[in-house]
Amino acid sequence: MTKEINITIENKLVMEKRDMNIYHHATRSAHMISFDSSITLPFKPVSEDDYLHISIVSGPGRLKGNCFVNLPSWINFELSSAGDATIDHLGDRTLLKIPPGPPVWQLKMTRSLTSPVDQPSYRVTIGDNQLEYK
């Protein structure tokens, strides 16, 4: 089992043109990524005091459309949202659908020591177009 993997966070909020804040606990580093950009970070198990925290930059105004978060199904997550988010399991992926409204949602991701990781890298995509995930 791989102890450390790489995880790429992709900001595909091109219609909304929103930036994202990402905090990586193991390195105590904060990053802001622009729409249509990405960042790759090392991701260790939560037992090694690691997690990622993702949020949307709040201005200007409300999100006009749905926001979709596509992540590997083995990721443990906590979602805080002002609206009713839906969760769909699609094979080896999990799709979170966050409804339009104030951009106040936050996502905390962790990895269990027993997560079935079999690749050196994975990706998490946050976007405003569900067609990217079909």
Cα–Cα dist 93/8, whole Å: 15
- Percent pLDDT > 70 in the chain is 94
Instruction: Tell me: pLDDT of 130 over 50.
Output: yes
Nearest Cα residue to 65 out of 88, 99, 95, 105 = 99
With 0-12 CB in 10 A as exposed, 13-18 as middle and 19+ as buried, what is 74? middle
For the entire predicted model, the pTM comes to 0.87
Q: Which of 8-12, 77-81, 122-126 is the least confident region?
A: 77-81
- Calculate mean pLDDT across residues 91-108: 89
3-state secondary structure of 96: strand
Instruction: Tell me: pLDDT of 23 over 80.
Output: yes
pLDDT for the residue numbered 92: 87
pLDDT for the residue numbered 134: 47
What average pLDDT does the structure give for the chain?
87
Q: Which of 2-11, 18-27, 113-122 is the least confident region?
A: 113-122
DSSP class of 61 = S
Instruction: Tell me: pLDDT of 87 over 60.
Output: yes
Q: How many CA atoms lie within 13 A of 112 on its CB side?
A: 9
- Calculate mean pLDDT across residues 97-122: 86
The pLDDT confidence band at residue 37, using thresholds 50, 70 and 90, is: very high
